[in-house]
C-alpha cells in the first residue's frame, strides 16, 4: 500500500516579508510597525554576505564557521558598486525605440537579430547598414564627385558628452519635404531619445568625489568646559560617583549620539570610564559591546573589573575558554574578534560597540596587522571606540578609520596627566630629581649630583677593597705592576647579582622610609624578576593583620585546585613571598597565581611587585612609585634603549588619582655612572612614537579573502593604513584624470586608413 504519511508533513516555505519596528527619540520609543519584503529568501550564511540572510547553525552562532561568509564590511558597499557600474557595458535601450522595422527579431542594444526572410536580401541590408556606420575612408570615396567630397570634408566632432547626432543638411530636408510623404519625413529626424543617463552619472560622480574629499576626523576642544552636558544627556545610562572630566563628558555625549570616538589620553587619565559607559549603553539598548585587548592578562583583568561593575552580564572568549557568550559585554583578544569576522559569526549582528583598548599596539611588528584587519572587516552598523595613549598622529589615524568605514570619528585628547610625574636617579642609596613635575627639561643640577654620588660610591668601593681585585705581575706578589696592565678583573655574574640584590634591599628600605610604597619595579626578564624577589629574603613589609588577610584570600582562591596541585613549587614560593608583601608578575606564572597577585596588589596588600613590561599594558593598577631596573631591553632582534612611548606607558603606572599629588619614577640602573643625559632626555621628554602601519599580507588573510568574493585582496591592501596617504589624494588624482580625458575627447578625431599607420609609426 502507498505510504500517505509523507503528505502529512510538508516543508514550510521561507517567509517573503518581515516586520520592522519604527522607533523615535533617545529612548527608542516604538511609534509604529511596517511590513517590508525580504530581498531574497534563498540567502544563507554560505552564499551571501548580506545581513538579510538566514541564520546559520546554532553551534556556530558565537565563533562562526569556516564554511560561512563574513558579513559585508562597512564603508565598502558604495565604492564597490560604483566600480562595478563603471566596468559594466552600457546598453542604449532607447537607441532603436522608434525603429519598428526589426521589432520582434532584434534585441535592444544589438545591431542585428534573427533572419526570417531571404538570406541574400538580409545580407544586403546588413552591408548597407555597415556602410552607413563606417567612418573609414576608402579610395573610392575619395574619388567621388565634388558634392560628395564636401561630405567627406564635413568631419564629425565627438562632443564631450559622448552623444553624436547625424547632421542633416537643410537643402536635403527642403527637397524631401516637397517630394516625400509624412512617413518619409519622419525618417529624416533623429529616432533616438536624448541621452539622460550622462547627467545622472555626472551628479553621482560629483557626490562620490565630495564624499571621498571630506574630512572624517573631527578634533574636539576640551579646553572649554562642557556646561550644558546634563541638558544634552539628561538620563545617563550609567551613573558615576565622581564628576566627569571634560573629555569624558564629550565622549559620553558622542556615544549617546551614536558616533564613533577616538580617545587619546594620558595613562591613568580615565579612559576606562568611556568603555564602561559604552557597555552600559549597549545593555540599555539590549545590544552587545565587545571589548578587545592586546594580551590575555589585560583580558582577564578587565573581565574581573567588568563583572564587579556589571554583575553576571559579562562574558569572555579566549582560545580555549568560553564563558557566557550571550552576555551584553564580551571580553576577548583582537585575534578572536578577527576570527569571528572572517567566519561570519551571527553574534556580530547584535554588536553595537567594539572597544579597541591600547590602540597604539598597532605599531607592534608581529601583531599590529590584526588591528587593521579587524577595523576594515567590521560591518557598517558597528560603532568604533578607540582607546590609546597619547600619540602625535591621532587625527591621521582617525581620518583613516573614518575614510575606511565612511563614519565620522571624533578625536578627544587630554592635555596633561591628572597626576604629574617626577623623575629621579638612584645613586649611593639616595634619589636625585632630574625632571620636576610639569617641566620639560632635564635638571643639570640634579643630574650632576647623581653623577657625583655615583663617583663617590665607586671611590669608596675601590678604597675599601684595596688592590684585592688585581693580581700581581710576574716576578712579585701583589706588586704595583699587575698582569694585563694592572686592569681589574671584571665582576663575575654572581658578584654582579649580589650587588643588584643589595641595591634593591637598600632601595626598598629607602622607599619605605619616604612612604613611597607600593612600588612596581620593571625588569625586562622573567629570570631577573625571580632572582630580585628571592634576594629580599629578609625583607618583611606586611603587618600581622595584612598577613592574615593575604593568607585567607590565598586559601579561598586555591580551593578549586586539587590537593597535589596546591603544593606545586611555584605556588609554595609565591605564597611565601606574598606573605611578606612581595610578588612577581610575568608570563611564566600560572594563570591562577597571576590573578591572585593582581587582586592583592589592587587591594594594597602587595607592597613590592617585580613585573615585566606586560604589566604596564593597560593593567589599571597604579602604584605610588615606579622603578626601572634597566632602561635597555631586547626587542626580539637586538638590545636597544627604551622608546619614549614605552617609557611613558610604564612610568604612567606611578601616581594614584585621588591619593597622590605626584607620581614618583626612579631610574635605578646600578653601575658606576648614570645613563647619558641625552639618552634620558630623549626617553623621558621625547615625543611618543607615531602610529604606523605594520600591514602585511599573511597566508591566513589571503586564504580567508579568496574563500569568499566579498572583498578582494587588492581591496584589503588599498584600505590599509599604509595606503592612507594615497587614498587621501585619490580624489584630486581622479579629478586630474577626468579633466585630461575630457580634453582628449574634445579633440578632433580622424579615422583614416591612409594616415593612421604613419601617425602610429611616428609616435612609436
What's the CATH number where 360 sits? 3.40.50.300
Q: Are 719 and 375 in contact (CB under 8 A)?
A: no
Q: Say if 533 falls within a structural domain.
A: yes
User: What is the total count of domains within the chain?
Assistant: 2
DSSP line for 89-122: PP--GGGGSS--TTTTTS-TT-S-----S-HHHH
The three cell numbers locating residue 318: 579566549
Do 335 and 430 lie in a common domain? no
Q: Say if 364 falls within a structural domain.
A: yes
Do 660 and 521 lie in a common domain? yes
Closest CA to 135 of 757, 760, 749: 749
Alpha-carbon distance of 420 to 664, in angstroms, equals: 9
Q: Are 163 and 95 in contact (CB under 8 A)?
A: no
Q: Say if 58 falls within a structural domain.
A: no
Alpha-carbon distance of 179 to 167, in angstroms, equals: 20
Do 604 and 674 lie in a common domain? yes
Give me the mean pLDDT over the 697-705 stretch: 89
DSSP line for 289-305: EEEEESSHHHHHHHHHH
Do 409 and 286 lie in a common domain? yes
Domain C-terminal end among 626, 654, 685: 685
Residue 538: half-sphere exposure toward Cβ, Cα within 13 Å: 6
Q: Say if 724 falls within a structural domain.
A: no
Do 578 and 441 lie in a common domain? yes
Q: Say if 756 falls within a structural domain.
A: no
Is the pLDDT assigned to residue 137 strictly greater than 60? no
Do 351 and 381 lie in a common domain? yes
Give me the mean pLDDT over the 89-98 stretch: 45
Domain C-terminal end among 685, 711, 739: 685
Q: Say if 233 falls within a structural domain.
A: yes
Q: What share of the chain is helix, strand, coil (3-state, %, to 5)?
A: 45, 15, 45
Do 567 and 664 lie in a common domain? yes
Do 356 and 387 lie in a common domain? yes
Q: Are 418 and 269 in contact (CB under 8 A)?
A: yes
Q: Are 524 and 493 in contact (CB under 8 A)?
A: no
If you average pLDDT over every residue of the chain, what do you get? 79
Is the pLDDT assigned to residue 579 strictly greater than 60? yes
Q: What is the pLDDT of residue 625?
A: 94
Q: What's the maximum distance between 2 C-alpha atoms anywhere in the chain?
A: 139
Domain C-terminal end among 638, 667, 685: 685
Q: Which of 47-51, 472-476, 582-586 has the lowest mean pLDDT?
A: 472-476
Q: Say if 481 falls within a structural domain.
A: no
Q: What is the pLDDT of residue 562?
A: 84
Q: Name residue 758's beta-bridge partners.
A: none
The three cell numbers locating residue 701: 588573510
Q: What is the pLDDT of residue 55?
A: 87
Do 260 and 397 lie in a common domain? yes
Q: Say if 452 falls within a structural domain.
A: yes
Alpha-carbon distance of 256 to 235, in angstroms, equals: 10
Q: What is the pLDDT of residue 755?
A: 77
- pTM, to two decimals: 0.72
**Helix ranges, 134-213 (H):** 139-142, 146-153, 170-179, 182-187, 197-213
The confidence band for 82, taking pLDDT boundaries of 50, 70 and 90, is very low
Q: Which of 115-119, 353-357, 463-467 has the lowest mean pLDDT?
A: 115-119
Do 373 and 452 lie in a common domain? no
Alpha carbon 596 to chain centroid, angstroms: 32
At a CB cut-off of 8 Å and minimum separation 6, what does 548 contact?
none
Q: What is the pLDDT of residue 480?
A: 42
Do 547 and 408 lie in a common domain? no
Do 384 and 508 lie in a common domain? no
Is the pLDDT assigned to residue 360 strictly greater than 50? yes
Angstrom CA distances, 205 to 163, 198, 209, 739, stand at 19, 10, 6, 13
Domain holding 353, by residue range, is 212-413
Amino acid at each position: 500500500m502507498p505510504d500517505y504519511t509523507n503528505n502529512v508533513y510538508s516543508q514550510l516555505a521561507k517567509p517573503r516579508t518581515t516586520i520592522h519596528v519604527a522607533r523615535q527619540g533617545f529612548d527608542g520609543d516604538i511609534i509604529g510597525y511596517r511590513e517590508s519584503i525580504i530581498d531574497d529568501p534563498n540567502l544563507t550564511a554560505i552564499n551571501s554576505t548580506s545581513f538579510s540572510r538566514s541564520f546559520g547553525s546554532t553551534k556556530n552562532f558565537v565563533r562562526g564557521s569556516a564554511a560561512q561568509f563574513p558579513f559585508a564590511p562597512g564603508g565598502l558597499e558604495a565604492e564597490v558598486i560604483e566600480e562595478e557600474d563603471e566596468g559594466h557595458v552600457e546598453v542604449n535601450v532607447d537607441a532603436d525605440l522608434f525603429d519598428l522595422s526589426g521589432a520582434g527579431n532584434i534585441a535592444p542594444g544589438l545591431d542585428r537579430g534573427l533572419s526570417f526572410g531571404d538570406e541574400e536580401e538580409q545580407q544586403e541590408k546588413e552591408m548597407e547598414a555597415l556602410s552607413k556606420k563606417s567612418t573609414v575612408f576608402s579610395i573610392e570615396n575619395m574619388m567621388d564627385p565634388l558634392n560628395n567630397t564636401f561630405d567627406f570634408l564635413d568631419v564629425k566632432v565627438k562632443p564631450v558628452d559622448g552623444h553624436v547626432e547625424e547632421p542633416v543638411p537643410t537643402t536635403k530636408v527642403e527637397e524631401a519635404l516637397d517630394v516625400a510623404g509624412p512617413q518619409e519625413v519622419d525618417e529624416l529626424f533623429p529616432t533616438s531619445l536624448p541621452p539622460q543617463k550622462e547627467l545622472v552619472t555626472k551628479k553621482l560622480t560629483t557626490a562620490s568625489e565630495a564624499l571621498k574629499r571630506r574630512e572624517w576626523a573631527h578634533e574636539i576642544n576640551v579646553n572649554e568646559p562642557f556646561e550644558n552636558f546634563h541638558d544634552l544627556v539628561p538620563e545617563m545610562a550609567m551613573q558615576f560617583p565622581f564628576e566627569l572630566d571634560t573629555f569624558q563628558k564629550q565622549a559620553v555625549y558622542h556615544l549617546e549620539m551614536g558616533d564613533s570616538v577616538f580617545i587619546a589620553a594620558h595613562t591613568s587619565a580615565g579612559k576606562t570610564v568611556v568603555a564602561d559607559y559604552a557597555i552600559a549603553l549597549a545593555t540599555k539598548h539590549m545590544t552587545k559591546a565587545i571589548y578587545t585587548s592586546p594580551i590575555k592578562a589585560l583580558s582577564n583583568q578587565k573581565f574581573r573589573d567588568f563583572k564587579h561593575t556589571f554583575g553576571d552580564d559579562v562574558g569572555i572568549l579566549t582560545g580555549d575558554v568560553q564563558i557566557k557568550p550571550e552576555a551584553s559585554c564580551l571580553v576577548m583578544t583582537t585575534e578572536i574578534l578577527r576570527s569571528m569576522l572572517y567566519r561570519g559569526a551571527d553574534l556580530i549582528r547584535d554588536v553595537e560597540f567594539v572597544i579597541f583598548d591600547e590602540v597604539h599596539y598597532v605599531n607592534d611588528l608581529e601583531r599590529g596587522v590584526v588591528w587593521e584587519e579587524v577595523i576594515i572587516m567590521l560591518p557598517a552598523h558597528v560603532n568604533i571606540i578607540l582607546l590609546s595613549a597619547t600619540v602625535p598622529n591621532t587625527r591621521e589615524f582617525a581620518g583613516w578609520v573614518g575614510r575606511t568605514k565612511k563614519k565620522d570619528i571624533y578625536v578627544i585628547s587630554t592635555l596633561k596627566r591628572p597626576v604629574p610625574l617626577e623623575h629621579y636617579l638612584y645613586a649611593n642609596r639616595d634619589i636625585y630629581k632630574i625632571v620636576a613635575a610639569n617641566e620639560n627639561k632635564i635638571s643639570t643640577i640634579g643630574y650632576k649630583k647623581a653623577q657625583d654620588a655615583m663617583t663617590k660610591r665607586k671611590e669608596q668601593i675601590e678604597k675599601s677593597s684595596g688592590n684585592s681585585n688585581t693580581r700581581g705581575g710576574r716576578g712579585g706578589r701583589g706588586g704595583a705592576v699587575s698582569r694585563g696592565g694592572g686592569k681589574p678583573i671584571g665582576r663575575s655574574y654572581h658578584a654582579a647579582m649580589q650587588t643588584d640584590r643589595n641595591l634593591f634591599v637598600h632601595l626598598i628600605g629607602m622607599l619605605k622610609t619616604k612612604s613611597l610604597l607600593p612600588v612596581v619595579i620593571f625588569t625586562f626578564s622573567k629570570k631577573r624578576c625571580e632572582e630580585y624577589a628571592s634576594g629580599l629574603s629578609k625583607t618583611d613589609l606586611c603587618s600581622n593583620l595584612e598577613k592574615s588577610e593575604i593568607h585567607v584570600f590565598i586559601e579561598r582562591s586555591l580551593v578549586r585546585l586539587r590537593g597535589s596541585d596546591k603544593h606545586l613549587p611555584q605556588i609554595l614560593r609565591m605564597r611565601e613571598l606574598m606573605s611578606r608583601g612581595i610578588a612577581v608578575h610575568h608570563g611564566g606564572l600560572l594563570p591562577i597565581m597571576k590573578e591572585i597577585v593582581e587582586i592583592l596588589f589592587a587591594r594594597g596588600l602587595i607592597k613590592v611587585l617585580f613585573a615585566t613590561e606586560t604589566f604596564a599594558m593597560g593593567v589599571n593598577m597604579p602604584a605610588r612609585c615606579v622603578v626601572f631596573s634597566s632602561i635597555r631591553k631586547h626587542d626580539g632582534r637586538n638590545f636597544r634603549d627604551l622608546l619614549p612611548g614605552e617609557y611613558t606607558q610604564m612610568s604612567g603606572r606611578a601616581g594614584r588619582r585621588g591619593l597622590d599629588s605626584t607620581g614618583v619614577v626612579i631610574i635605578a640602573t646600578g653601575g658606576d655612572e648614570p645613563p647619558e643625559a641625552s639618552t634620558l632626555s630623549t626617553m623621558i621628554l621625547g615625543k611618543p612614537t607615531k602610529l604606523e602601519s605594520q600591514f602585511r599580507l599573511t597566508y591566513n588573510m589571503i586564504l580567508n579573502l579568496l574563500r569568499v568574493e566579498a572583498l578582494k585582496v587588492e581591496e584589503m591592501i588599498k584600505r590599509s593604513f599604509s595606503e592612507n596617504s594615497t587614498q587621501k589624494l585619490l580624489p584630486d588624482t581622479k579629478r586630474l584624470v577626468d579633466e585630461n580625458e575630457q580634453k582628449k575627447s574634445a579633440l578632433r578625431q580622424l579615422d583614416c586608413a591612409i594616415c593612421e599607420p604613419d601617425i602610429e609609426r611616428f609616435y612609436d
